[in-house]
Structure 1
Amino acid sequence: MSFSSRLSSLLLTRKDHARFLQNRVWLQGILEDFSLEGVLDIPRVGTTPCVMIYGSSVAGTAFQDGDADYAIVFPSKTSINDFSKLEKLTLSPSNFLEIRREYHQRVLSSILQHIVKRDLSVDLKHEQIFTARIPIIRLKKIKKSESEDIRFDISLSLDGLRNSLLLRLYMESDPRLRAGVLCAKKWGRSKGILDARRGWISPYALTVMYIFYMQTTKRTVSVINETDVDSKLFPIATQLSDTTGTCCSEFIDVLPCRDAKVSDVLEDLRGFFSFFGDCTKFDFDIDVVDIRTKDKWLSKEKWLEEMKKFSEKERWELLGYETIMVRDPFESHNLGRSVDFFRAEDIREAFRLASQNNCEELVNL
């Protein structure tokens, strides 16, 4: 069996992917007549909700136990010259009407009520998680057979879409990079270091770290400009809100696994662990992981200098413990903000030990 076939066997199945897409179409139909203006008490803005799947299933890095994530976003379809009466909204670079964070709870609660009222035939269980940085509603659609139940989160996260599309473009551009990311995620899971809600790093942060390492060491020539993501996102959302979205390949199609040379990926993984496990190559105390193409910050000193205009409370919300500094490609926060000193030491040690061990088990899937 080829390396790509072995990788594919770990990934989200086409059957589950199809279920996620069917669920998206169901949500889109239910929310067709959802009124943002009524919930926020604002003048008419001429927008309708668009339900878009995001996360690892879009990026092409979802394993078989992955759940579905949906963002409900609002493409701006008319010209708005005066935002003075729309202080609860902002216009994003990709031409979406973004709801200010303090109103996410209100809008999500209204969306949940709308879903429940519109389809009484569906048995839904839900949990509202509004204390997280990105407020979400976690739902479980109960089917006749437990194996057919579907769990999913809904949010208003436009940046989740941007990040997912950015990663997909990276994974699509370089099969060797994608293979390494999947193996690194498998390793991170085995070490128990991939859970941001429990004070570790997220799989997304580890993926950004891997891309940064591959770019820094010139093992990949793939560099994706953030503005390319914004230019792609709006037309995709417009199509998805008007149709079933069959032509929007980036958010509909499974990203196929293309073959990569095992020896190259193995060498990349060894280098990855050595890069972050050796402070002479990357020093977590002074260095920053940043894959942006514009205004890149590679030192902690530079990032902290930029933070002087923020209050202590705002700095904490953006940077957290400041032990592992991984800059989000679009937002202004640190992807490693939840990692305290002791967990940061454990993560560094995991990299150091991995650099001394045989990595072949990671590619022998």
Structure 2
Amino acid sequence: MTVVFFETTMTVTDTARAFADAGIDKPACGPNPSQNFGAPEMTGSFFQWRPVATTYPGGISALTSHSQWTMDGFNTPVSYNKFLSATFPAYTAAYTIDFEVIAAYTTYPNGCNTRDTVRLFYQPNCGGDWCQPLTAKLSGTNGTCSGSTSWIEGVSLGGLSSTWTTYSVDGVVQAANTAPRGLFEDNNGVKGNQLFVGATHPSRVIVDFDDPSWGWSGANVVVYRLTSFGNFGGGNIDCHKDIQVFSAQNATPVVGVIDNSLCTFPAPGTRFGINGQVGPYVVTGSDYTTAPNSSLIWQWGQAGSNTTPFITGNGNTPFPTLDPTKSTNFWVKVKDPATGCVAYDTLTMNVVEVIANTGE
């Protein structure tokens, strides 16, 4: 008998995962529009930029075949361009272009890669209303919450000046031109000097309002305002953009959610709230769905596997109605759609059975 052995080998290469960051949305205008994209935080060795969507008439094919269209590495599968420079067609109406960047440490598409997108806003008249393209983006390594490694980057038309102020703290609107406490210079990702009111500021800043010396100590949510102003295209521009930041230290932006107790009588079983008020209990606190705060996404739930839902109403609002028949732990999750930051809190409702004793 002849026995034949076969041996198969497989080589697996472990590579680092690149971080794609296309930068922030930007505007362009006039007869010869151009713009640059990308961010210094992007990592990798190979990058591919490409337009993926546009409102330009005729779509991407008409856009990229225009004589004014130029783009670094266009139609090139592999590029070393971390930053993108591009020119676009002039047109009689506004349009947008969405660019995608793919970042990898090995040649795409064979290696692990990540992707990010960025948008260009084009307007034909440079003297028009430029408040809409003014954008601000919150990023960082701290879950887009306040922290020494989180930053806000704002952008408008080149040549305009920028200034930062504090608009509101925990839902309370501050006086005009309140100092931007919690904002600092960004020295290549390192927190630098604090920003003072009344000065022209960089458009990219570190946001850390939990800082003990130059912050809003104990605050849950701070709304900062970026104002862009100056003369462009023969007209004065004065625009602002608000961006909301959560605290990284405090558990939640929900103020006033405090553990409570309910009482029950075995017959007829009527529950009573705090101070003898009849249940069910309606949660109270600060409403973070109204101005100047962004529209947050609320979700309430109850811990455990209770078959009877004790959240009887408004479970997707700041103030749900709770009607537990036994002691229950509730949880709330709040998400800011503008930044992606998520905060959590818990609420314990103790239900105590009170047995009437009439004596002998």
Q: Specify if TM > 0.5.
A: no
Relative CO higher for 1 or 2, CA cutoff 8 Å, sep ≥ 6?
A: 1
Q: TM-score, normalised by structure 2?
A: 0.28
Q: TM-score, normalised by structure 1?
A: 0.28
Query: Which of the two has greater helix per residue?
Result: 1
Q: Which has the larger radius of gyration?
A: 2
Query: Which of the two has greater strand per residue?
Result: 2
